[in-house]
Amino acid sequence: MRNRIFLFALAAIILGHLRIEGQHNPIRPWSENPRYWEYKGKPVLLLGATDNDNLFQNDNLKSHLDSLKMVGGNYIRNTMSDRDPGNLRAFFRRNDGRYDLNKWNKEYWKRFENLLKLAYERDIIVQIEIWDRFDHSRDPWLDDPYNPKNNINYTYAEARLDSVYPSHPGQNRQPFFFTVPELQNNEVLLKYQKAFVKKLLSISLKYPNVLYCIDNETSGAEEWSAFWARFIRENSGGKEIFITEMWDEWDVKKPMHRRTLDHPELYDFIDISQNSQITGRQNWDNAQYVFNYIRDNPRPVNSTKIYGSDRGSWLDRGITTEHGVQTFCRNILGGFASSRFHRPPSGLGLSPLSINCIKTIRMIEEKVKFWDIRPRMDLLGDVRDNEAYLAAKEGEAYVVFFTRGGEVAIDLSNTGKTFLLWQTEINNPGWSDPVEITGGGIRKISSKYRNPSFAVMLRKLYQKE
Residue 465 confidence (pLDDT) = 44
Residues in the chain: 465
Could you give the C-alpha distances from 292 to 27, 46, 56, 389, in angstroms and in order? 24, 21, 36, 17
Q: What CATH number is attached to the domain comprising 426? A: 2.60.40.1180
Which range of residues forms the domain containing residue 458?
A: 374-464
Could you give the C-alpha distances from 339 to 147, 301, 329, in angstroms and in order? 35, 9, 9
Angle between helices 61-70 and 106-121 (to 10 degrees): 20
Weakly modelled stretches of the chain, pLDDT under 50: 5-6, 9, 13, 17-18, 20, 463-465
**Pair 285, 434 in one domain:** no
pLDDT digits (tens, 9 = 90+) for 386-415: 999 999 999 999 999 999 999 999 999 999
The verdict on residue 330 lying in a domain is yes
Q: What CATH number is attached to the domain comprising 320? A: 3.20.20.80
Three-state SS string over 206-221 comes to: CCCCEEEEEEECECCC
Query: Rounded to whole angstroms, how far apart are CA atoms 167 and 139?
Result: 10
**Pair 267, 392 in one domain:** no
**Pair 153, 253 in one domain:** yes
- Using DSSP's 3-state secondary structure scheme, residue 21 falls into helix
Residue 341 confidence (pLDDT) = 98
**Pair 258, 397 in one domain:** no
Query: Rounded to whole angstroms, how far apart are CA atoms 449 and 165?
Result: 51
Query: Rounded to whole angstroms, how far apart are CA atoms 449 and 454?
Result: 9
**Pair 227, 94 in one domain:** yes
- pTM across the whole model: 0.94
Residue 464 confidence (pLDDT) = 41
Query: Rounded to whole angstroms, how far apart are CA atoms 5 and 449?
Result: 63
**Pair 164, 205 in one domain:** yes
The verdict on residue 211 lying in a domain is yes
**Pair 335, 379 in one domain:** no
The verdict on residue 10 lying in a domain is no
The verdict on residue 115 lying in a domain is yes
Query: Rounded to whole angstroms, how far apart are CA atoms 307 and 327?
Result: 9
End-to-end CA distance of the chain: 57
Task: Check: CB of residue 323 under 8 Å from CB of residue 60.
Answer: no
Q: Last residue of some domain: 365, 399, 432?
A: 365
The verdict on residue 258 lying in a domain is yes
The verdict on residue 283 lying in a domain is yes
**Pair 422, 283 in one domain:** no
**Pair 360, 381 in one domain:** no
Residue 461 confidence (pLDDT) = 75
Q: Last residue of some domain: 301, 336, 365?
A: 365
**Pair 401, 443 in one domain:** yes
The 10 Å Cβ neighbour count of residue 79 is 24
The verdict on residue 422 lying in a domain is yes
Residue 24 confidence (pLDDT) = 74
Q: Cβ neighbours of residue 7 under 8 Å, at least 6 residues apart?
A: none
**Pair 356, 384 in one domain:** no
Query: Rounded to whole angstroms, how far apart are CA atoms 247 and 260?
Result: 9
Number of domains present in the structure of the chain: 2
Query: Rounded to whole angstroms, how far apart are CA atoms 414 and 417?
Result: 9
The verdict on residue 4 lying in a domain is no
**Pair 90, 232 in one domain:** yes
Q: Last residue of some domain: 333, 365, 397?
A: 365
Task: Check: CB of residue 396 under 8 Å from CB of residue 459.
Answer: yes
